Chains A and B, each alone.
Chain A
């Protein structure tokens, strides 16, 4: 609306918008599109056959499997957490509510490297629980549980921060009406709340998945990067890149890039539905 009114107003230069739009395109092409396009260009530099050989390398396949396993476990856990947190914070008033909201956002502003160090200092051999874990023969660091925990930490806010603002904006009248009409707790949730928040929930889960499969800093601290065992896909990419297998690294990276692009497509579709 405002666009029309402003651009036809007297005294405003017509060239300014064109200049700004042009600048926006050029800068975005240099800083966003080029790095993105380069991944595919480099991945297919050796042709399809080389690409397929790189993707089906046993170590890459194992890394893909491990990364998928991490996502399959972490995402449902964080979806459940996100729903619980949004329900508690949006539907009830209690002391410390604001503080809880800030605490949930913490992983978002802390470097994943710090998250990894925190977990190492808790569960590692020299960590607070290290002696106890060693005495009970439990291995969390440099094994799957450590990777899962750090990934949970890093992706914890994603579902909550999508669902919470929506639930706050929607208010609780419908749910209260359902309760008054005699609906039970789970009925209220599945018949009233869930249909209202499903798109935000889906988008949060998709973002959480993208972040979980791409997590690098935190996982590189706690995984120990054991080839063929605890190497997730991003760690495998690092390994190949440092081994000067650049084409292989970009082939593996292209799979994660496709996931990132799918996230953006889903976001665009969901936004046009709103």
Chain B
């Protein structure tokens, strides 16, 4: 802190008011004011009505479907992401760069495109749907479909969070542990895991947040049956189409609250990890 204050540069560089003014104006107009509009409209509803909307069986069911599917998708991606990050940083093999690039596909591919592709792929005449349906497993129009869509769109977050940390991890520690006779799994648990844990948790938190809000990929494959596969974001959308603006605002506010809490958690994890690193 004192060091930072001591080297604090005098403002020799130009453009402070211009750049900050532009930034604040844009953030206010495009990001803050619309979000405040949601909060104000939500406040207009009043606590009793708000509670009635949220505690309605259909809303609760939609929130339960969303949270369950997002949690399961995140658990899968936590382990898949860890595996991918490990394989991509620790081993050399043919096709590594392509595998690495593929991790960004869910990020770059529009969610609606992912949605129709997953739906057709797992429907009764799709590549995966045909054998699965033959085995009596239905993915499309079930909770499994919701989980699958959320999994696809949140694939990059865990991999990309862990990768840079694994790359920076000093291999000398692992080699020392190995020399001392530690078995590979013990090395992973005692040396590697503590180092990547903050990134792993932060990445999983972002993946979870992304899954909670996912819409485009889910609506096609979910079938959107109320109480079964209807997600909260879709219910908010349906309320809008029914001109029930209060209903939409209340559900959106709950989702916004979830998103902000998760954003805070992920920032906190990374902040604490950064402070821990500086302290070492």
Residues of A within 8 A of B (CB): 1-3, 5-7, 9, 11-13, 16-17, 20-21, 23-25, 27-28, 30-36, 38-39, 42, 80-81, 83-85, 87-89, 91-94, 100, 102-107, 109-115, 117-122, 124, 126-128, 149, 152-153, 156, 172, 175-176, 179-180, 184-185, 188-189, 207, 210, 213-217, 220-221, 234-235, 237-238, 241, 246, 249-250, 253, 256-257, 259-261, 263-264, 267-268
Which chain A residue has the least Cβ–Cβ distance from B256? A114
Segment touching A, from B52-60, B115-123, B135-143, B193-201: B115-123
B19 interfacial contact with A, CB 8 Å: yes
B56 to chain A, nearest CB (A): 18
Contact between A36 and B109 (Cβ–Cβ < 8 Å)? yes
Contact of B27 among A2, A100, A263 (CB under 8 A): A100
Q: Are A38 and B117 CB-contacts (below 8 A) given A25-B95, A32-B106?
A: yes
Determine the distance from Cα of A51 to Cα of B81 in the docked complex, in whole angstroms: 36
Q: Are A234 and B110 CB-contacts (below 8 A) given A13-B184, A28-B84, A113-B237?
A: yes
Contact of A121 among B41, B174, B184 (CB under 8 A): B41
Interface residues of B in 195-220 (CB under 8 A from A): 206, 209-210, 212-216, 220
B169 to chain A, nearest CB (A): 8
Contact between B37 and A127 (Cβ–Cβ < 8 Å)? yes
Report chain A residues within 8 Å CB of B88.
Answer: 24
Contact between B171 and A250 (Cβ–Cβ < 8 Å)? no
Contact between B259 and A114 (Cβ–Cβ < 8 Å)? yes
Contact between B155 and A31 (Cβ–Cβ < 8 Å)? yes
Contact between B184 and A250 (Cβ–Cβ < 8 Å)? no
Q: Are A264 and B245 CB-contacts (below 8 A) given A16-B184, A113-B215, A216-B215?
A: no
Secondary structure of the B side of the interface? Answer: helix
Q: What are the 3 A-B residue pairs with the smallest beta carbon separation, nearest first? A: A111-B213, A214-B110, A2-B171
Report chain B residues within 8 Å CB of A180.
Answer: 12
Contact between A176 and B9 (Cβ–Cβ < 8 Å)? yes
Contact between A88 and B16 (Cβ–Cβ < 8 Å)? yes
Quick one: CB contact mask for B69-111 with A, threshold 8 Å, 1 for yes?
0000000000010011011101111010101011111101111
